[in-house]
Amino acid sequence: MSSDHDWDLCFETINRLVDEAGKIIASRNSGAKTISEKTDDIDLLTETDQQVEKLLTEALHEKFPSHKFIGEEAFGEGNRSQLTDDPTWIIDPVDGTMNFVHSYPQSCVSVGLWVNKSPELAIVYNPIFNQKFTARRGQGAFYNGQRIHVSGEKALNKALITTEFGTSRDADKVRVTLENLAKIVPAVHGIRVTGSAALNMCMVAQGAADLNYEFGPHAWDMAAGDLIVREAGGVTMDPSGGPLDIMSRRVLAASSQELAESFIKLLTQFYPQPRDD
């Protein structure tokens, strides 16, 4: 086996690099940030996003030269990337940038390695609270080294739901978001909006939430969370009920198929454009 297809080595390498990235994020969470806007005044970029992505991609490319990359800040420069069968690192250097800008301690680095268009390994790390979620295909999901499982909740009225409003102020998106909230809030046990798509999915994996849905996240927001949820015994899918397509900017993760199916009946659908591919 070549080192480029040594998944043990890949996992060891990214685990170490994510720890390095976490030190950068944690050290800057409470300080002043250099901020720029991408698409609008709520779609933000900091120098930390750029530095962390550079750290990860350069080190991974040196170690695994044949691997490809899909990264949030590379997309911001107009470098569109397609997901192929080649080993591909999908990286969000700081998921929850708005939180990070405000020093709200819910942000993380999220990395998934996808091979043959399927996730092979995943890490989501919130260094401010030292929360590390990991998964490898067929080997389970873990929180700080301890095995985790979804809640298994099936009843909609007992379910805690997570979602995000996203970074788009498109009028149709806002209308659908508010319409869905009006339908969901009376039907479920509770709803949470914490500002990090990746951490929301990890909450489902850990059993701290029962279902997460969102219209508008990107591939790098869910590439790691997808595997972590499924290895914890949960389900991931498109919010319409079809297979999850991480390039579609639509995701639903749930503790059970039954809960997902009940929830989908409530939803008004929205299809963000453009897709990530």
In the annotated binding site for Mg(2+), the residues are: 72, 92, 95, 221
Q: CB of 260 within 8 A of CB of 234?
A: no
| DSSP-based three-state secondary structure for 193 | coil
Give the span between the Cα atoms of 124 and 103, in whole angstroms: 19
The Cβ-side half-sphere exposure at 274, using a 13 Å CA radius, reads 7
Q: CB of 246 within 8 A of CB of 272?
A: no
Per DSSP bridges, beta strands 250-254 and 235-237 are antiparallel
**Scanning the structure block, which residue is given the tokens 């086996």?**
1
Give the span between the Cα atoms of 54 and 74, in whole angstroms: 10
Q: Which residues contact 28 (CB under 8 A, 6 or more apart)?
A: 48, 100
117: left (phi over 0), alpha (psi -120 to 50) or beta: left
Centre a 10 Å sphere on the Cβ of residue 12 and count the other Cβ atoms it contains.
Answer: 11
Per DSSP bridges, beta strands 211-215 and 160-162 are parallel
- Nearest by Cα to 231 from 137, 125, 145, 154: 137
The terminus-to-terminus CA distance of the chain in angstroms comes to 30
Instruction: Tell me the two tokens of residue 7.
Output: 């998944």
Give the span between the Cα atoms of 76 and 187, in whole angstroms: 38
Known binding-site residues equal 72, 92, 95, 221
